[in-house]
Chains A and B, each alone.
Chain A
Amino acid sequence: MAADNSTTAMQTDSRDWADRWRHINKILDRRGPFCDNSFREGYENTLLPQCKVLVIGAGGLGCEILKNLALSGFKDIHVIDMDTIDVSNLNRQFLFRPSDVGRPKAIVAAEFVKNRVAGVVVTPYHGKIQDKDDDYYKQFQIVICGLDSVEARRWMNATIVNLSQELGEAIPIIDGGTEGFKGQARVIIPTVTSCYECSLDMLNKPTTFPICTIANTPRLPEHCIEWAYVLEWPKVFKNEKLDTDDPKHIQWVFEAALERARQFKIAGITYSLTQGVVKNIIPAIASTNAIIAAACCNEAFKIATTSAPYLDNYMMYTGNEGVYTYTFQHQKKPDCPVCGENSVNVDVNKNWTVEEFIEWLKEKPDAQLKKPSLMTADNKKIYLQAPPILERSTRPNLEKKLSSLIEDGDTIIVTDSTLPFSLQLVVSLI
């Protein structure tokens, strides 16, 4: 039934009506003083009619982005999202209605926009970004990310930057993110500007509590929640990893934390606090999403039309006290593992064991690794997290000193299942 609808919509509405693009055409039909030299007057001389733009995420930001792109004259929009619609999304993800609950976000959003804006084709994919390969991604001229996860962003960034390097042609990434009243919009031109990986150390370090506080002297409700999911969960479910997206798991953590808080007479454990602590999330605000999504689409519009210079390259936004933006050029990191030189020099204490070295890697703010595996440049295994057979065979190395396995100046190749690339560390033992 949905397919029928869209075809009739296409047939009757593909024609533009009088004045439809009056507002946009004022900008596109006339050269302005800040225009790039390559600007040519007229909609047909811009990239808009044939530009393929990919939107990653159809959530709070994604809904806004899809709407804005369609109204801005983009014709061929693709969207990827792996989630289905939950009733809690309805208050700000305005493309969804109560009757859509349970359906895939990407598909519902695409249909809504297609039916609303005549002549726009929105192609949804309900699944993971990792399902798609280079052949898929290279068809796009612009990629806009409206994501809430660091991991997904890193994966997208690395994939597009690598692809741009291979093609010898940059596919711009526009990345938007929000957290409460704060947000940012940035333009990444692979190989030219800094990339997402370059700015990893700008991320706020998630609040962590010392294990002994969690284990022995909880004082805040957060301590009880951490106890439940850091200490209790692995004890009770030895082989099952906690899945922060699984409501059953969160419910278990919530109940365990509640019980512990009761013992210690600590008040204030709620389900949403549990979710917040475990997933490390700050609730989204609709107006911040609108602002950041619009800023991202404004950049896409400028890139596709050259009607004004695009953002170079980072805008930070805060709205809890008046309106504040800080626009600056974020610097490329020369040793960025994604867009920079291939290897990074690191100083390592020569007395460290492999295990201590791994702990240090996990703490390193510009690496943000979860389960790193280590090999030498000539393929000797130092420690591998998977498959289990290799993990078992390399486990004894954990207690060995790193200096017994490599020489000063050797290169260690670090891989992590969450990363689409490897880190090459040139190790100085000191």
Chain B
Amino acid sequence: MEWRTLSFYRFKSIPEKDLSQLREKMLSDFGNMNIVGRIYIATEGVNAQMSCPKENIGWLREYCDNILDLGNVDFNFATEHAKAFGALHVRIRKQIVADGLESGSYDITKQPNHLTPEEWHQALSSKPQLVIDMRNHYESEIGYFEGAICPDVDTFRESVKVMEEVCEGKQDQEVYMYCTGGIRCSKAGAMLLSAGFKSVNVLKGGITAYGRLWAATGQAALESSNVCLVNGNATGIGFFTVVDGRLVTGADIGNNFFLTLEALGQPRAAKVTEYLQELNEDVKGSFLVEDPINLIETSPDYFLQFSLVIATELPEKPLLRLAEILWDSAVPLVVVRSTGFIGYFRILKPEHTIVETHPENIVDLRLDKPIPGLEAYAQTFDFEGMDNMDHGHIPYVVILIKYLNQWKKEHNGELPKGTQERNLFKEAILSGKRNSDEENFDEAIASIWKACTPTQVPSKVQVILNDLLCDNITVESSNFWIIARAVREFVANEGLGLLPLSGRLPDMKAYTQSYVDLQNIYRQKARQDVAAVQARVDKILSSLGRSSDSISHEEIESFCKNAAFIEVIRYRSLQEEYINDPKKEDISRWIRDSEDSIAYYVLFRAIDRFYETFQRYPDGATLPDAGDDAGDGNDDEQSVFVYEFNPLRKIVTSLLEEWGIDDSGLDIDDYVHEVCRSGGSELPNMAALLGGLVSQEIIKLITHQYIPLNNSCIFDGIKASSRTYVL
């Protein structure tokens, strides 16, 4: 059975005489729903922690809403879902949270302000005086908010005492408090408010609301990431900041699912932050209402605090400036633009290293240079002496080893080379096949090509190992380069010219036992290789004065497993693309291909020039019919055409000229026309599509998993196709 583990609580007044009847009712009704767990009921409300069969959650929801009348109580779901309780207990308590106070000494209906994680963060960033951790000391030891008072207590009763002590006489101060799930603060807040405190704020959902959802390794990186969105509209990461100086317009609301009319005229940065928060309450966000162009000019260092910056709608000059600032500090920048059906984005980052590229197949059998123990193991198979059943279950790795040995004996230790020899080798294996059903022999034959290809360090990886950054290891070197250096030394020494072994064995026809044996041989060698690389990493770290645990064993293990597939991407800077070294030849070639989309790139660049000249973007072109001369009663269209199309077309010509491209004979008028028509409009579908592509790439950049785009992408929504370019 699939379970959902959840908790909920509600302060609500229940007459004492009704409690035992309610208990009976809950026992029978929850029992019928197969719910197990621990539920406390008291005159002050209900507090439940339970595991519920997944298919009964809907039932539970209705029951809480309509029968128990808990007023749409929030279910707090745990991250792990197993049956967490053995049985169902409903207990009548004096209180649902024991506070050690006389009942009636405070008013539980006086509830504090429940701040969402975002509001909480916002509030704490101004460093308030009184922040109290209402958890027990073993909970706060794991981590707490900066500046919080963490009482060294074991029970909530004691916390309450400490709270009363530290708050004494501070009725006029703002009090902030938090706990694990929120219930303790609900109570503690009510006590303070009853005691005359003016402003008590608690973290809604408690610490739990902060850390849900994210689990896997890459997710950890996402969680600690801090993304800046310049003029932006959408994404979802661990922490983000929106910088935007403008106010919400009617057009923004029309285009944006999370904005409603109430937002009209308010700062866009604030509203966008709010709706991102709504999308995922675990994401923490903040905003800055300021014109980013000003900010880039006056305090460029502001942007260096982020782990990634996304820029939309920035004119060329401030964009170049921002790109330069970020580049020098190696902060990645993603530039996004769209107009009508056309979208564009570009990634900028001096260097991006990836270990977990997630290749489809990382099998590395090394049959040409069998790993220790493999040959000895292969020799335990007496092919001739086996019955048909056993013979049909010899792992193909063993078959290949046997026939390769035979071949090498007859050919001065050489592997089969060339098609002809490989065919002869295939014949040899075929001759050992007893009947057509022997799949293991078919598997061996299918792997001949691989087995006969000498194992070596892939040239792409060799380039990385020979990189200057691998030569010069300093205290500045990243973990990637330190491990790469260790691997390089490994290859040159105990690795005997080969990378550490991945240790992964593909499935093959075999008895369970022989498969497990083989797996152990490969795994053992892989483990030895990791240990050897680890020793070299330790040595490098100690020479740098870094502690040996500053690179985790898992990181080294992962590097070794993926060593044949590591990647380093060095992006071109915007400076190079725009000024020092434009890709003239490539653009000239691409633009002659009528199927290509590069013309839109040229147009995005031309739009920026248009803006510099006219201080506005081109907007509004309706080409007159070919035979429809001016003065035909169509003056408006004609003038729009002249004022928008012609100047933009001219800019395109001069831009191409700068790149040494003669545009006569180039069929690009339609592209110019379409861009004028779309007038910088942001279509909701294109924004969503681009948002999806960009967030996918950002996740790759932040997690260092999978291979991100290098470096520009145009999505043509008219043709529904994308192209990528190195620009």
- A interface, CB within 8 angstroms of B: 13, 17-24, 26-27, 30-34, 64, 67-68, 70-72, 84, 86-87, 91, 94, 98-99, 101-103, 116-118, 181, 185, 210, 213, 217-220, 247-248, 250-251, 264-266, 271, 285-291, 293-295, 297-299, 301-302, 308-309, 311, 315, 319-327
Contacts and interface: CB of A to CB of B under 8 A. Distances in A.
Given A26-B677, A290-B691, A327-B720, A266 B254 contact: no
Interface string B668-696: 01100110011101111110110111011
Contacts of B236: 286
Contact of A298 (B507, B681, B717): B717
Given A20-B253, A248-B1, A293-B688, 8 more contacts: A23-B681, A116-B260, A219-B508, A264-B512, A266-B516, A285-B696, A287-B692, A322-B707
A322 B81 CA distance: 35
Given A20-B253, A68-B688, A323 B722 contact: yes
- The list of the 9 closest CB pairs from A to B, nearest first, reads A102-B58, A290-B692, A247-B2, A19-B250, A294-B689, A71-B684, A291-B692, A287-B696, A22-B251
A31 B722 contact: no
A115 to B, nearest CB: 9
A102 B681 contact: no
Contact of A102 (B57, B508, B710): B57
B709 A323 contact: yes
B526 to A, nearest CB: 15
Contact of A26 (B55, B439, B679): B679
Contacts of B455: none
A288 B1 contact: no
Contacts of B684: 23-24, 68, 71-72, 297
A247 B683 contact: no
Band of interface residues on B: 35 or more
B596 to A, nearest CB: 13
Contacts of A264: 512, 516
Contacts of A327: 719-721
Nearest to A327: B721
B75 interface: yes
B393 interface: yes
Contacts of A181: 696, 706
B249 interface: yes
B548 interface: no
Contacts of B689: 290-291, 294-295, 298
A20 B678 CA distance: 16
28 contacts: A20-B253, A22-B254, A24-B681, A26-B678, A27-B677, A31-B623, A32-B677, A33-B670, A34-B670, A72-B685, A84-B58, A87-B77, A99-B73, A99-B75, A101-B57, A116-B258, A219-B510, A219-B516, A247-B53, A271-B2, A287-B696, A294-B692, A297-B684, A315-B720, A321-B706, A322-B707, A323-B693, A323-B724
B350 interface: no
Contact of A217 (B393, B678, B679): B393
A210 B57 CA distance: 39
A321 B689 CA distance: 17
Contact of B254 (A20, A67, A250, A299): A20
Contacts of B669: 33
A251 B75 CA distance: 24
Interface stretch (B102-110, B144-152, B221-229, B614-622): B614-622
Contacts of B60: 102
Nearest to A315: B720
Contacts of B72: 99
Interface string B244-283: 0000011101111110110010000000000000011000
Interface of B: 1-2, 4, 53-55, 57-62, 72-77, 81, 213, 236, 249-251, 253-258, 260-261, 264, 279-280, 340-341, 358, 393, 439, 507-512, 515-516, 619-623, 669-670, 673-674, 677-679, 681-686, 688-689, 691-693, 695-697, 699, 706-710, 713, 715, 717-722, 724
B681 A64 contact: no
B77 A294 contact: no
A97 B515 CA distance: 47
A250 B2 CA distance: 8
Contact of A308 (B1, B58, B718, B724): B718
B722 A319 contact: no
B100 to A, nearest CB: 32
A138 B508 CA distance: 52
Q: Which of A98, A324, A327 has the most CB of B within 10 A?
A: A98
Contact of B681 (A27, A70, A217, A266): A27
B721 to A, nearest CB: 4
A309 B718 contact: yes
B673 to A, nearest CB: 4
A287 B62 contact: no
Q: Which of A19, A219, A264, A326 has the most CB of B within 10 A?
A: A219
A19 B720 contact: no
A298 B717 CA distance: 7
Contacts of A116: 257-258, 260
Given A213-B509, A287-B699, A298-B717, A71 B255 contact: yes
Contacts of B512: 217-219, 264-266
B60 to A, nearest CB: 7
Contact of A251 (B1, B358, B682, B696): B1
Given A219-B507, A323-B722, A18 B685 contact: no
A311 B720 contact: yes
Given A20-B251, A250-B2, A298-B685, A315 B721 contact: yes
B331 to A, nearest CB: 21
B685 A68 contact: yes
A30 B636 CA distance: 12
A31 B55 contact: no
A103 B691 contact: no
A219 B619 CA distance: 64
A69 B516 CA distance: 53
